[in-house]
Chain A
Amino acid sequence: MTVAIDRATGKRHGDRAPRPGLGGRFKRSYQKYWYAYAMIAPVIVVLGALVLYPLVYGLYLTLTDANSLNTARTIGVNHIDATYKFIGLDNYKDILFGPTAYDRFWSHFIWTIVWTALCVALHYTIGLGLALLLNQKLRGRTFYRLILILPWAVPTFVTVFGWRFMLADGGIVNLALDALHLPSPDWLEDTFWQRFAAIMVNTWCGVPFMMVSLLGGLQSIDASLYEAAEMDGATAWQRFRYVTLPGLRSVSSTVVLLGIIWTFNQFAVIFLLFGNTAPDAQILVTWAYYLGFGQQPRDFAQSAAYGILLLAILIVFTSFYRRWLNRNEQQLAI
């Protein structure tokens, strides 16, 4: 009963005896690994029932014209059977190349890319800056740290409403801008300012996570490296460039990937900040939600097709990201 209890065992491919027949191989591998399979079985079952089955069902729905008027539903005591029909890849064709493709998909796609890139860049640079400041010997840095993670500590759905009060017409932000004789934009009505506000609020919400993770990374860099660099006469910038950044590489590649995935999928900020009032500031995720649940009749098929497209984008991106990291011989910490 040899369970591969060490990483080394998994690598013993070379010195195997000649392969037995298929049945024998199956039996041997069953005897050898049944512990492992028994232990992962609960998650396999849950994922199969809660992720795989809905995913396949959703894929099927994207090939139909299902909406809230033709799916099975129960009104009172009457049960109405589903009447939607199979239409092949028409949904995808319509989304990507149809006559309204630009207004409905591509404009949101571009905005989603801009949103993700800007937000993650802001999260990372501000987070790194604050982490560097907090990593010095400084009076009261525990206090600063506690205050600075406040946006992460309070649930997003609470703080977004706080921002909504502040940015509303006649809210405190515009009162302050008026007092300074600066123009006071319509944060929640004008498309450009809606986007600006969304990025601002999301940056505010997302910086603490980056800051704290990068601070952890900074503290794990060996102090003797800095001493050695200083002995060799490295300037502050050189120490940052050649000691700090390489030391942060593993943490950075992980948090940047997480940040990209989370920001790309960020639902709460935009949904709660604007509701259904800002069609042009919706990123793809909230737009897909709007198609499926925010309008009447609900367009289930298109919404599901957006979901599949989004997932495909993320998977492709992550594969390239991992490959790129592997080429640079970095290990992703997830």
Chain B
Amino acid sequence: MSTTTAPTSTAATGQSAAEAGPRKVRGRSRRGRAASLASHGILTVASLIAFFPVAWLVYLSLGPDKDDYLHPGGIWSKMTFSNYSFVLQHTEFFDWLKSSLIVSLGTTVIGVLIAATTGYAVSRMRFPGYKKFMWVLLVTQMFPVAVLMVPMYQILSDLQLIDSYLGLILVYCSTAVPYCAWLLKGYFDTIPFEIDEAGRVDGLTPFGTFARLILPLAKPGLAVAAFYSFLTAFGEVAFASTFMLSDTKYTFAVGLQTFVSEHDAQRNLMAATAVLIAIPVSAFFYLVQKNLVTGLTAGGTKG
């Protein structure tokens, strides 16, 4: 804000400009401070809203009685870990852990293994039917649970696979496989084509290029697909609630519901179980979240 570049300016305008200069700067910094205070204020409130329900669940899990959630003030004086020891010793917690892990890991392994070559093929090659194939992959991801649930239930009962881990894994694969293929295509797209060409110049077949050159480079992408399949399978509610019948084969998503029935609501135990489930899963999520986010959005493809 200088007046030297305007030789024709009168003293009056020069003066007003000189006055305006510092005032503007001061106004700006004050506004900056106010804006930053407001930002902090809004972010703090939002963080509290995001944090509170989870914190509340942890707090309730420390109350020994099942109606303590009605009198939260009373929990302070009688805090105890008795719920946790009860859940670990007298419920099917470890059975549920086993089922959850078997089903989630099974889905992850099958999903990533099957989808890997496809992701590569649709990233690098164009073949008749390409567009239709991509459309199919896209449409499969938006299947509502209601579409496949009835026929799957009938088919799996014919095959006697209701209430078995394999049945649930197969059901989950119907969404995990196309989703992994999408994610992996996105990741393969970011690997330069020159690497493929170099491999082919050196006499590798497309399979060789894929297995020896691209796959080692794509480990982060494979990891993202694996994390995502795992988390989705772990948190799935609808199929697990319907297809798993015996209480030792429940996954966590089903097992947690069993604490609240029409006759009895053991909310304190439920809260303790919920916390026990949430801690490892959230820790896992925080470890992988950076990769997960880039994989989900930027990992998409064009065309």
Residues of A at under 8 Å CB distance from B? 3-7, 9-10, 29, 33, 35-37, 39-40, 42-43, 46-47, 50-51, 53-55, 57-58, 61, 71-73, 129-130, 133-134, 136, 138-139, 141, 144, 146-159, 161-163, 165-166, 168, 170-172, 175, 204, 208-209, 212-213, 216-217, 251, 254-255, 261, 264-265, 267-268, 271-272, 284-285, 288-289, 292-293, 300, 303-304, 306-308, 310-311, 314-315, 318, 331-334
- The digit string for B106-134, where 1 denotes a CB below 8 A from any CB of A, is 00000000110110111011111010010
Find out whether the CB atom of A289 lies under 8 angstroms from the CB atom of B149: yes
Please, which residues of chain A bring their CB within 8 A of the CB of B127? 4, 33, 36-37
Find out whether the CB atom of B56 lies under 8 angstroms from the CB atom of A307: no
Stretch at the interface among B11-19, B76-84, B269-277: B269-277
Q: How far is the CB of B152 from chain A (nearest CB, A)?
A: 5
A204 to B54, CA, bound (A): 12
Q: How far is the CB of B163 from chain A (nearest CB, A)?
A: 13
* Neighbour of B300 across the interface among A3, A73, A148, A254, CB < 8 A: A254
Find out whether the CB atom of B118 lies under 8 angstroms from the CB atom of A55: no
Find out whether the CB atom of B154 lies under 8 angstroms from the CB atom of A300: yes
* Neighbour of B234 across the interface among A9, A155, A212, A314, CB < 8 A: A155
Please, which residues of chain B bring their CB within 8 A of the CB of A5? 124-125, 193, 196-197, 200, 206
**Supplied contacts A10-B130, A307-B148, 12 more A-B pairs, CB within 8 Å:** A50-B170, A51-B140, A51-B143, A54-B151, A55-B151, A138-B36, A139-B40, A153-B281, A155-B278, A165-B57, A265-B144, A333-B298
Please, which residues of chain B bring their CB within 8 A of the CB of A293? 149, 153, 242
Please, which residues of chain A bring their CB within 8 A of the CB of B178? 43, 47, 51
Please, which residues of chain A bring their CB within 8 A of the CB of B57? 158-159, 161-162, 165
A6 to B197, CA, bound (A): 9
* Neighbour of A161 across the interface among B126, B256, B297, CB < 8 A: B256
* Neighbour of B53 across the interface among A149, A159, A265, A315, CB < 8 A: A159
Find out whether the CB atom of A267 lies under 8 angstroms from the CB atom of B152: no
Find out whether the CB atom of B140 lies under 8 angstroms from the CB atom of A161: no
A289 to B148, CA, bound (A): 11
- The digit string for B132-163, where 1 denotes a CB below 8 A from any CB of A, is 01001111111111111111111101100000
Stretch at the interface among B43-51, B89-97, B215-223: B43-51
Please provide the 5 A-B residue pairs with the shortest distance between their CB atoms, ordered closest to farther. Answer: A10-B126, A39-B121, A307-B146, A307-B147, A288-B146
A284 to B146, CA, bound (A): 9
**A43-B181, A147-B47, A268-B238 given as contacts; is B150 within 8 A of A161 (CB)?**
no
For chain B, what secondary structure do more than half of its interface residues adopt (helix, strand, loop), or is it mixed?
helix
Please, which residues of chain B bring their CB within 8 A of the CB of A166? 53, 56
Find out whether the CB atom of A213 lies under 8 angstroms from the CB atom of B297: yes
Is B224 in the interface zone, CB < 8 Å from A? no
A292 to B54, CA, bound (A): 33
**A54-B151, A138-B36, A153-B285 given as contacts; is B118 within 8 A of A40 (CB)?**
yes
Find out whether the CB atom of A42 lies under 8 angstroms from the CB atom of B117: yes
Is B88 in the interface zone, CB < 8 Å from A? no
Find out whether the CB atom of B271 lies under 8 angstroms from the CB atom of A303: no
Q: Can you list 27 pairs linking A and B with CB atoms under 8 Å apart? A: A5-B124, A43-B177, A43-B178, A46-B177, A47-B174, A51-B148, A54-B155, A58-B150, A61-B150, A72-B158, A148-B47, A153-B285, A154-B54, A155-B253, A157-B252, A159-B53, A161-B270, A166-B53, A166-B56, A204-B50, A267-B145, A268-B235, A271-B238, A288-B144, A307-B146, A331-B302, A334-B301
Please, which residues of chain B bring their CB within 8 A of the CB of A40? 117-118, 121-122, 133
Q: How far is the CB of B100 from chain A (nearest CB, A)?
A: 10
Please, which residues of chain B bring their CB within 8 A of the CB of A331? 302-303
Find out whether the CB atom of A46 lies under 8 angstroms from the CB atom of B114: yes
A163 to B50, CA, bound (A): 12
* Neighbour of B267 across the interface among A139, A165, A307, A308, CB < 8 A: A165
Find out whether the CB atom of A172 lies under 8 angstroms from the CB atom of B56: yes
**A158-B57, A292-B150 given as contacts; is B69 within 8 A of A171 (CB)?**
yes
Please, which residues of chain A bring their CB within 8 A of the CB of B54? 150-151, 154, 159, 162
A3 to B46, CA, bound (A): 53
Is B282 in the interface zone, CB < 8 Å from A? yes
Is B291 in the interface zone, CB < 8 Å from A? no
A284 to B152, CA, bound (A): 19
* Neighbour of A216 across the interface among B42, B278, B281, B293, CB < 8 A: B293
Q: How far is the CB of B299 from chain A (nearest CB, A)?
A: 9
Find out whether the CB atom of B70 lies under 8 angstroms from the CB atom of A264: no
